[in-house]
Structure 1
């Protein structure tokens, strides 16, 4: 397994795989309330079986070149992650996302990890458009989209139900030429 350094603070990015289901579940248990405020991941990964199934679904996506999932570790401890929920190489589109335990928030980990996977998608896989879909109430995730140089494309009003409540979803994106220009400056 590989690990990519995310800086001098002991942070690294590595793939998450089905054999890590117990660790992934323990991580989710530590951050369940915080993570679940805006995304369904905390409600999907609730026991060893669902944890394994979730990670297996991403192993299958990776095998089909249709998605990826990576863990963010600090000093070896899993504290969050980034993913390509969807990826269509033929069409050149992908949707990125993220999550973190509360203790890891505010350290720039998601921005650094998302930068690494977007670089890979654009430069290695030829992705032209990377989207970031986020609850309009999720200010920290919106701030990441801004730091990544994304443009707010619009709002899907009350398009998503999370924990029984309808929420607006903002769509942010960056195009490959914009990404390359930003990275070059």
Structure 2
């Protein structure tokens, strides 16, 4: 008799909740449910003259503040994607956006994307913590898989995915047409069995003792997550 090959059973699985907390708070950053009245002006100003911020996003750059406010308004009421603005707790400034999207609660799958970080927040502890908080919320809520996808040409995004501990799963060739150009899409994921050890690496990186008096990291997040691979 031919052996039947079946996937592992998933006993007791219940669909996790949809994203919804108005705030997700960290040490360096607070994630606030997107509100154009509170976030559009600051973020438009933070990105002014920085058109490269929009290179790999399916929208932008925006001609003026009104156009940007209108775009934020069109996103703010959606449940998928579900957007957060990133507020730097030290400066109080809004420095970026991110969203949960392609939310498949019945399978326990959620993606983190629409990430746009203004220059003043790029490569900062606050920016890294923002994504860490989003990953952590998803697994704490009961999701089994968190995805990260990006244009295969977007090397900074690919490096970031690896730094957070995502596993590269391949490239979908000619996956999309974005702004009239071909997009091959690189796929990454973290699954729930991997997150506890990766979460420890994230916590070690964010610990005050990992930064010297000038705020420079002693160990990189990539080094810490690689040890947990």
Q: 2:83 aligns with which of 52, 59, 69?
A: 69
Number of the residue aligned with 2:26: 5
> Is the helix fraction higher in 1 or 2?
1
Larger radius of gyration: 2
Aligned-partner Cα distance in 2 for 1:3–1:30:
27
Q: Report the equivalent of 2:122.
A: 105
Deviation at 1:99, TM superposition (A): 1.1
Q: Is the 8 A contact 1:31 1:101 kept in 2?
A: no
Q: Is the 1:22–1:51 contact (alpha carbons within 8 Å) kept by the matching residues of 2? A: yes
* TM-score normalised by L of structure 2: 0.66
Query: SS where residue 104 of structure 1 aligns?
Result: coil
Q: Secondary structure of 1:41's match?
A: coil
1:76 aligns to what SS in structure 2? coil
Say whether residues 1:115 and 2:132 are aligned partners.
Answer: yes
Mapped contact 2:47–2:53 kept (Cα < 8 A): no
CA contact (8 A) 2:39 2:94 kept: no
RMSD (Å), alpha carbons: 2.7
Stretch of structure 1 that moved more, 161-170 or 17-26: 17-26
Aligned to 2:159: 143
Aligned partner of 2:176 in structure 1 is: 160
Structure 2 residue runs without a partner (length 5+) = 1-21, 202-229
Per the normalisation by structure 1, the TM-score is 0.80
Aligned residues: 177
Residue 151 of structure 1 contacts residue 174 of structure 1 at CA under 8 Å; is this kept in 2?
Answer: yes
Q: Secondary structure at the match of 2:57?
A: coil
2:206 match: none
* Residue aligning to 1:174: 190
Partner Cα distance (2:63, 2:145) in 1 = 29
Which segments of 5 or more consecutive residues in structure 1 lack a partner in the other structure? none
Pairing partner for 2:59 from 17, 29, 41: 41
Q: Rate the CA distance shift 1:134–1:26 in 2: closer, same or farther, 3 A.
A: same
